[in-house]
Amino acid sequence: MKSTTLGKIRAFWLGSVVCMGGFLFGYDSGMCVFSPVLTLTCHASGVLTLKPFVSDFHYSNKHKTRINSLSVGLQQAGAFAACFVIWPITNRLGRKKSLMLSSAVFCIGAIIQTINTHSLAAFYVGRIVAGIGLGAASVVVPMFSSEMAPKEYRAQIGSLFQWFYTFGIFTSYWVDYAMTKRVAPVSKQWQIPIGLQLVPAAMLGFGMLTLKESTRWLTKKGRHEEAWESLKWIRADESQDTVDEMVEIRTGVEIEERETENFQIKELFERDNFKRIFTSFAVFTAQQATGATAFAYFGPQYFKLLVGGGDKDLLLTAIFGAIKVVACGIFVLFLSERIGRRQSLIWGAAFMAACQISAAAIVKNKPAPANGHVTSSGIATVALIYMFVIAYNLSWGPLPWPYVSEIFPTRIREPGIAVGVSSQWLFNFVFSLSTPYMIDGLGWGTFLFWGIADIVIAIGTFFFLHETKGLSLEEIAHNNFGKAGNFKDVENEHIDIK
């Protein structure tokens, strides 16, 4: 069915509210570590190495690497653990209350970080608590948006998470920069950037009050009148098309309940379920293995390999961040529902591989001069990396979020998405930890490594991923994972939606 204009507005409002979780993810990542714009003036990396922060928490600059690593690692550990804690909670409480709870937990963590306790231990506790809230939200957001979005806008709304993420990183760069330029070097210079996290967190939590609970979750719990009201609200319509969609949702949920009563963890290892679980894990692992996350964290170091000394690497990284926002925005607004998921992922990985391998060949044969002199080879490699990040934000950046949220039946959607998102956090940590050593040890070989990884990703996508564009969640769930026909032929019994 085609959504009404009001229905489309409500669907995108829902996507914008819940994807504040993506903004939080990006803002927090850019705020605390590896902030390229901040380094333009103070030659540091994020608020953790600002002089007032170092003074307030009583550590020397020689410990900054350890402080950065612990701050990132502990938050990601909290987020990874939350992926497995939140799915039974959201199954019991629903998507709406779970996101409000995630927001509240994150706010507690952010407040602990913002208070000048003069204790790194307390700051680390705040990072863990905030990570738990962030990790929980990252599981529930794609789940909620996929369950409520019309199938013709599901990729577009699901991809908002990545766009908000790029906005979050970009915003953090310039907030940090403003603090160094406009605020005296006192405690509030680091407290303001950290405390500002409370704004999007509150927008996520209070914004949930404007939304209805997930139709599919309500149906699963047998709350059929509320489910019908929820669907009518999000579609802004109660025509026969909406009635038919409600029947389809009821049919799908009832089939799942009949086939697998009394859910047990071992169901996840049944052949078809395990295939979906493994796919979700592999898709998010591939997203991190493209090399784009490493570039987001260590842009200056990468660009130094390309252009040599001087401060051009820092400016190039700032431009890199702006290109990400624009490219992802173009995908979300104009391309997400016009091209198939599978083709976009295949060609995106192939193009990224070509860019990375070409960059590796140029850097190997024409290394950047130490004096920072601009060369034609340096210009060429920078252009290749910019094309790489454009390709990423037209494919593997935004699409894993809606794709993984689409491939599970209602019965195992919570644990399925949790496993997939947990791999995102796990390999985010792995590559953020290992990339500096790769750059130091491999040099130009780092680009070759990511290029080979992208080739593997393109081949794997070609052979193993199914297309989901234009299909309802029920069609995807009940037609052998991608071999979709007409779902209405699966079950023809009449269901009274009231």
Q: Which percentage of the chain shows pLDDT scores above 90?
A: 52
Residue 343 has pLDDT above 90, yes or no: yes
pLDDT at 39: 39
pLDDT at 34: 46
Distance CA 202, CA 142 (A): 19
Give the mean pLDDT of 214-230: 95
pLDDT at 454: 98
Helices (H), 94-119: 95-114
The whole-model pTM stands at 0.83
pLDDT at 38: 37
Task: Look at 199-203, 259-263, 397-401, 406-410 and tell me which has the smallest mean pLDDT.
Answer: 259-263
Amino acid code (one letter) for 23: F
Residue 35 has pLDDT above 60, yes or no: no
pLDDT at 66: 73
Residue 45 has pLDDT above 70, yes or no: no
DSSP string over 317-339: HHHHHHHHHHHHHHIIIIITTTS
Radius of gyration of the chain (CA): 23
34 φψ region: left (φ > 0), alpha (ψ -120 to 50), beta (else): left
Task: Look at 118-127, 301-310, 461-470, 484-493 and tell me which has the smallest mean pLDDT.
Answer: 484-493
Q: Which residues have C-beta within 8 Å of that of residue 406, sequence separation ≥ 6?
A: 146, 154, 158, 468, 471, 473, 476
pLDDT at 480: 62
**pLDDT higher for 343 or 180?**
343
Give the mean pLDDT of 318-324: 84
H/E element, 292: helix 292-307
Residue 214 in contact with residue 144, Cβ under 8 Å?
Answer: yes
Dihedral sign for Cα 247, 253, 255, 258, please.
negative
Confidence of residue 41 (pLDDT cuts 50, 70, 90): very low
Residue 310 has pLDDT above 80, yes or no: no
Task: Look at 74-78, 99-103, 284-288 and tell me which has the smallest mean pLDDT.
Answer: 74-78
pLDDT at 387: 96
Confidence of residue 44 (pLDDT cuts 50, 70, 90): very low
Confidence of residue 423 (pLDDT cuts 50, 70, 90): very high
**Nearest 10 degrees: Cα torsion 63, 69, 72, 74:** -100
Cα–Cα nearest to 31, from 135, 127, 171: 171
Residue 257 has pLDDT above 70, yes or no: yes
Residue 109 in contact with residue 32, Cβ under 8 Å?
Answer: no
pLDDT at 369: 79
Task: Look at 71-75, 455-459, 490-494 and tell me which has the smallest mean pLDDT.
Answer: 490-494
Q: Which residues have C-beta within 8 Å of that of residue 332, sequence separation ≥ 6?
A: 156, 159, 160, 162, 163, 398
Highest mean pLDDT among 48-62, 100-114, 311-325: 100-114
**pLDDT higher for 373 or 120?**
120
Distance CA 323, CA 115 (A): 35
Task: Look at 29-38, 296-305, 331-340 and tell me which has the smallest mean pLDDT.
Answer: 29-38
Supply the mean pLDDT for the chain: 85
pLDDT at 356: 96
Give the mean pLDDT of 186-212: 93
Instruction: Tell me the domains of the chain and their CATH numbers.
Output: 1-222 (1.20.1250.20), 268-486 (1.20.1250.20)
Tokens of 321: 């961040």
Tens of pLDDT, residues 77-110: 899 999 999 989 999 999 999 999 999 999 999 9
Instruction: Return the SS3 of 294.
Output: helix
Q: How deeply is 261 buried, as exposed, middle or buried, from its count of CB atoms within 10 A (0-12, 13-18, 19+)? A: exposed
Give the mean pLDDT of 338-342: 89
Looking at the chain, the number of H-run helices and the number of E-run strands are 23, 0
Cα–Cα nearest to 297, from 10, 20, 2, 33: 33
Give the mean pLDDT of 273-290: 95
**pLDDT higher for 414 or 2?**
414
Give the mean pLDDT of 28-55: 57
Residue 245 has pLDDT above 90, yes or no: yes
Highest mean pLDDT among 39-43, 61-65, 430-434: 430-434
